[in-house]
Amino acid sequence: MKLFVSLVAILAILCGHSIAAETRPNIILLMGDDHGWEETGYNGHPHVKTPVLDEIAATGLRFHHFYAAHPSCSPTRASFLTGRHPNRMGTFAPGWSFRPEEITIAHILNKAGYRCGHFGKWHVGAVKKESPVSPGAMGFHEWVSHDNFFELNPSLSRNGGPPEVFKGESSEIVVHEAMRFIDGTKKEGQPFFTVVWFGSPHEPYSGLPADLALYDNLPAKYAKKVSLTSNETGGPTTRPQGEVLRERYAEITAMDRAIGQLRKHLAATGLRQDTLLFYCGDNGTSADAALGVPHRGVKGQVYEGGTLVPGLIEWPARIPKPRTSTIRASTSDLLPTLSTLVGQPLPNRPLDGVDLTAALDGKMTERPNPLFFWEFNTGSLARSKPEPWIDPELQKGTTPLVKLMSGKATRDFTNFRHPAITDDDYLGPRAIIDGRYKLVIHEPKSGEAKRELFDLHGDPAEKANLLAQQPAVAQQLQTRLTEWQQSVLRSLTGADYKK
């Protein structure tokens, strides 16, 4: 009898594992580079054509208020992977890596039996094999990636090897590499976790003739000169905005088409029904392309225009009917949400994201915790000459790109030890959104800090500063913001890794 009971128990456990394996969704996370909220057809853009994203918005789950955790790319990517604000790990700005001690979504999904692949832009450290923060070191089994952004005919590193030139349109290239990975994983009978981070539409811009032709007749009013990178020299140049927008919109349309190719492939291989496909941008629209509506600010600013991005989920098995959510969600929410979906515990350290699984079913009506934004004041840090967190040789990039920096076509990364916290470490543009209110704080070059309070329900364009009318609300938000900064700075010292 005891033997029979034991066998039944073992069978129950095995069946439980089998059921769990069968119900785990495949997961694809896509992200555009510098793709702001307004640059989609479904959000009412007057020119750009995004038929595939529009279809996902019309049939899946559309987050009307989805935020990049930071107004620039490397920091947002760190939040995307870890569920934590990038300042916790010293990823302060573009070109600052994260740290090897961080726990990523790929680490977690590894434990749940997923095969993990990364394709496209990395930009949270060097992609070469020996880097301690390469995709391979941070949980991905395969990667075809670039240290930074890329244009037509990109140079990419396969699994950390020397860069290879891939001929063609860059969004299509990384999607085809992702499809190859998905097909291989399917043959092995494993669920897949696939991250595709496009190089588009980041400047310098380029496009295929057919895509450029779609935007030949943009209004003549876009005549002002804007600054960007020259495709010919790799250095800075100025050009009429209309020419720049034509090329940028061509890149967005090409990226949109590549996403469509991926969706068709999932359908053709019988994978679409139970694959969670997600898309967002990594920060708001860059200054060269921003049209100034409907939100205030651009990439690099903590106003809505710097952090609001498209946010879409398609998962027919779980989201059979279209729905729009007004919950304010963030790239930091991906790790806790996916951890719940695959039944894995959260990392034992402070997280800034929240679990959005209830939102998938329309059962979440408001965010339980505030959203925080903070551009760290790196000026004082640079002057103090701190000790590198990672050997600088291991932080050197290998994959070239058009845009030169200090004469180099490759990018290096940095991250520093930060054992002691000073008052200056609390500075830098920052904001908190709690419910309907948003507090923004800046330090000007001289004088006291500038504070602005906005009611995002009635004033999403952040035009009316309510500080004088609502001083108590502003003070409450500022206190909450400072308390959160204290937690972040404790993480910055490395305290979270000592548990």
Span 131-149, average pLDDT: 98
Which tens digit of pLDDT belongs to each residue from 73-129? 999 999 999 999 999 999 999 999 999 999 999 999 999 999 999 999 999 999 999
Domain extents in the chain? 23-366, 374-498
Beta bridge partners of 51: none
Q: Cβ-count burial of 223 within 10 angstroms (0-12 exposed, 13-18 middle, 19+ buried)?
A: exposed
pLDDT at 132 over 60: yes
**Which residue matches tokens 């000007």?**
444
pLDDT at 473: 98
Q: Which two tokens stand for residue 246?
A: 């034509």
> According to the model, what pLDDT value does residue 381 have?
79
* 176: phi then psi, degrees, rounded to nearest 5: -65, -35
Average pLDDT over residues 452-470: 98
Q: Which residue has the tokens 């760190």?
A: 78
Whether the predicted pLDDT of 140 surpasses 60:
yes
The answer to whether the CB of 436 falls within 8 A of the CB of 459 is no
Q: pLDDT tens, 188-201? A: 999 999 999 999 99
Same fold? 23-366, 374-498? no
Task: Please determine, for residue 465, whether its predicted confidence score (pLDDT) is greater than 60.
Answer: yes
The owner of tokens 């307004």 is 38
Would the pLDDT of 499 be above 80?
Answer: no
Residue 18 predicted with pLDDT over 80? no
Q: What amino acid is encoded at 49 in this protein?
A: K
DSSP annotation of 405 reads: B
Residue 12 has pLDDT above 90, yes or no: no
479-493 tens-digit pLDDT: 999 999 999 999 999
pLDDT at site 254 = 98
- What token pair was written down for 335? 């790790």
Give the CA distances from residue 478 to residues 70, 218, 288, 467, 473, in Å, rounded to whole numbers and listed in that order.
18, 44, 32, 12, 9
Helix (H, G, I), strand (E, B) or coil at 330: strand
240 by DSSP, 3-state: which?
strand
Q: Check residue 1 and give its pLDDT.
A: 38
In angstroms, rounded to a whole number, what is the distance separating the alpha carbons of residues 322 and 59? 4
Mean pLDDT of the chain: 94
In this structure, which topology does domain 23-366 adopt according to CATH? Alkaline Phosphatase, subunit A (3.40.720)
Q: DSSP letters of 172-213?
A: HHHHHHHHHHHHHHHHHT--EEEEEE--TTPSSP---HHHHH
CB atoms within 10 A of CB 190: 17
Confidence of residue 9 (pLDDT cuts 50, 70, 90): very low
Q: With respect to CATH, is domain 374-498 assigned 3.30.1120.10?
A: yes
- The predicted model gives 446-469 an average pLDDT of 95
